[in-house]
Amino acid sequence: MKLNVTAIALTTILFSCSQNKNTQNVTLEDEIDSTSFAIGVSVGENLNNQFDELDFELVNAGINSTKDTSNNFGISSMVAQGIIQRYMTKKQLEKQKEVDALKNIWFQDTLSIGDMFTTESGIKYQILVNGSGAKPTLNDQVETHYHGTLLDGTVFDSSIDRGETVSFPVSGVIPGWTEALQLMSVGSKWKLIIPSELAYGERGAGQMIPPNSDLIFIVELVSIK
């Protein structure tokens, strides 16, 4: 993973400076003031999302140390980059362990052999987990976990591999998904075999899904938004 330390330094400067101000007492007198404050808000939110464990008082002290050559705690940019790189690598490994654990649990019930049903449109589905929640409508937005492969097992997209659920409108996906989601109850997990005409048809999708490809999905309906 390549790390842009300069970008991180810039964002920390902007965020740490804003941390030391009482925002209720900030006066925005002109365009530069407003733009400066807006950048601080934007960068601060991003920085909090990336570095929620950090002590921003120490971040600010680190910034100040670059201006004060007499500061005994100052470190070179090269050493700083190494420290940040180790931290990011550690967090990445922790995230990967979480994803791997989720995948092991999530795929356990896909090994079961059950009845395969077929809808009038030609979608084949197998109920792996039968949920008891509500069923979404065409106008709803849903939160899902899914794993998509070609018939030969090639993975082309997987929220499980990323370790994050995905939300979208029921009407905003391929027709096969739109139909299947309205048949599923919240808490359900189904294996779907979607014929190409209800997926991406003759055009395919990018380099991963060739034209006229039937697709296999394992879909978990987590919630209705």
51 as an active site residue: the answer is no
Active site residue 156: yes
Of these residues, 15, 125, 200, 209, which one is catalytic?
A: 200
Whose structure tokens read 């999708």? 205
Tokens standing for residue 61: 């002290």
Q: How buried is 21 (Cβ within 10 angstroms: 0-12 exposed, 13-18 middle, 19+ buried)?
A: exposed
Spatial neighbors of 31 by CB under 8 A, at least 6 apart, are none
Question: Which of 15, 194, 217, 218 is flagged as catalytic?
Answer: 217
Number of other CB atoms surrounding residue 27 within 10 Å: 6
Q: Which listed residue (13, 156, 214, 216) is catalytic?
A: 156
Distance CA(21)–CA(144), nearest Å, equals 40
Note whether 15 and 44 are within 8 A (CB).
Answer: yes
Q: Is 152 a catalytic residue?
A: no
Active site residue 200: yes
What gap in Å lies between CA 182 and CA 199, rounded to an integer? 16
Which residue among the candidates 123, 125, 146, 218 is catalytic per the annotation? 146
Q: Which of 8, 75, 174, 224 is catalytic?
A: 174
Q: Would you state the structure tokens that stand for residue 193, as one six-digit string?
A: 């075999």
Which candidate in 75, 157, 216, 224 is catalytic? 157
Q: Is 174 exposed, middle or buried (0-12, 13-18, 19+ CB in 10 A)?
A: middle
Active-site residues: which are they? 146, 156-157, 174, 200, 217
